[in-house]
Structure 1
Amino acid sequence: MVGPSRGVHVQGRQYLACGSADHGRRALSRGSIQRVAAMTAAPENARTPNLGRNVVNGAVSGGVRILLRAEGACALAAAVLAYARFGHGWGMFALFFLTPDLSFLGYLAGPETGAVSYNFAHSFVGALTTLAAGALLSLSVLVTAGLIWVAHIGFDRALGYGLKYPDGFALTHPGRIGRARTGG
């Protein structure tokens, strides 16, 4: 049996080195494999794409960062306005507004688990699904929960917080949050 390291794939076909059991597949000499590999490799002068002056170390900045925060503020405003019309009173809103932040408890199990639990509670996917289900099924409790959830996420995004990467709590999709630590 020949392992995957003994051949090369070119345009959907696998070519095996000469002398190996090719089982009906095309065979190439060692030199041919090296030439194919050279043809499919990136040019020597290739460099990473220029992400622009608004991206610094993978973090958004400038107008894009402002736009992301404005989107969060709009989500918060829309959810609060809809809650004023369809919600169950401001006491309930205040009581449950910070409920998604209970997902921080996932960080007690480690950064990967923490990021998954935080992202589940701070993604619009769950909040909008809950809101849509409430609207479609005429369940006011789901509408209320969905609106509070959307408001919370919008609030966080307006402040610059985002979905977390498992590499660390401060690493979010809009960029690093908090003060950057310096060595020494």
Structure 2
Amino acid sequence: MNKILLHIEGLMVLLLTLYLYAYFEFSWLLFFVLLLAPDISMLGYLISNKAGALIYNIFHTYSMAIAVVLYGLLFVNAIVLAIGLIWTAHIGMDRIIGYGLKYLSGFKENHLNRI
């Protein structure tokens, strides 16, 4: 049941960020170009499982992405806001399909399931 709630949470985050992105009339080309950019953090696994999990989790934590959104809102910076919304949408999308925060044991171990 808890896993289902986390998937639903991801869906709600994705839908909210898509709504806000459309509301602010940001570029959809930019959205699709940057949507998978946080996955570059997987390159940390080339160093080690520990480094990979740490770097991946930093880029796949709602708190970091929402901090960027808040910065964009507070300082009226449209590009920062757009990037923060794209980043948050990416995390929500990942949660929907079962990609969660990684454990140190390896890339396939995360807080939602074993991939």
TM-score (norm 1): 0.61
Task: Name the structure 1 match of 2:114.
Answer: 176
- SS of the counterpart of 1:176? coil
Q: Which string of whole-angstrom CA distances, capped at 9 and with x for unpartnered residues, describes residues 102-135 of structure 1?
A: 0011010010000011001100111000000110
Gaps of 5+ in 1: 1-62, 178-184
- From 74, 99, 105, the counterpart of 1:161: 99
- From 92, 106, 116, the counterpart of 2:44: 106
The higher-RCO structure (CA 8 Å, 6+ apart) is 2
Gaps of 5+ in 2: none
TM-fit CA distance, 1:137: 0.6
- SS of the counterpart of 2:20? helix
In the alignment, is residue 128 of structure 1 matched against residue 66 of structure 2?
yes
Task: Name the structure 1 match of 2:5.
Answer: 67
Runs of 4+ in 1 over 2 A off after TM superposition: none
Question: Aligned runs of 1:1-184 on 2, under 5 Å?
Answer: 63-177=1-115
TM-fit CA distance, 1:88: 2.3
Q: Distance in 1 between matches of 2:95 and 2:6?
A: 7
The alignment covers a number of residue pairs equal to 115
1:139 maps to a residue whose letter is: N
TM-fit CA distance, 1:65: 1.1
1:100–1:122 Cα contact (<8 Å) kept? yes
1:87–1:144 Cα contact (<8 Å) kept? no
Greater Cα radius of gyration, structure 1 or 2: 1
TM-fit CA distance, 1:87: 4.5
Q: Distance in 1 between matches of 2:26 and 2:44?
A: 29
Q: Distance in 2 between matches of 1:72 and 1:173?
A: 13
Report the identity percentage: 42
TM-fit CA distance, 1:175: 2.3
> Which structure features the higher share of strand residues?
1
Once superposed, what is the RMSD of the aligned Cα atoms?
0.8
TM-fit CA distance, 1:64: 1.2
Cα pair distance change 1:80/1:118, threshold 3 Å: same
TM-fit CA distance, 1:168: 1.0
1:112 maps to a residue whose letter is: K
Q: Distance in 1 between matches of 2:17 and 2:64?
A: 15
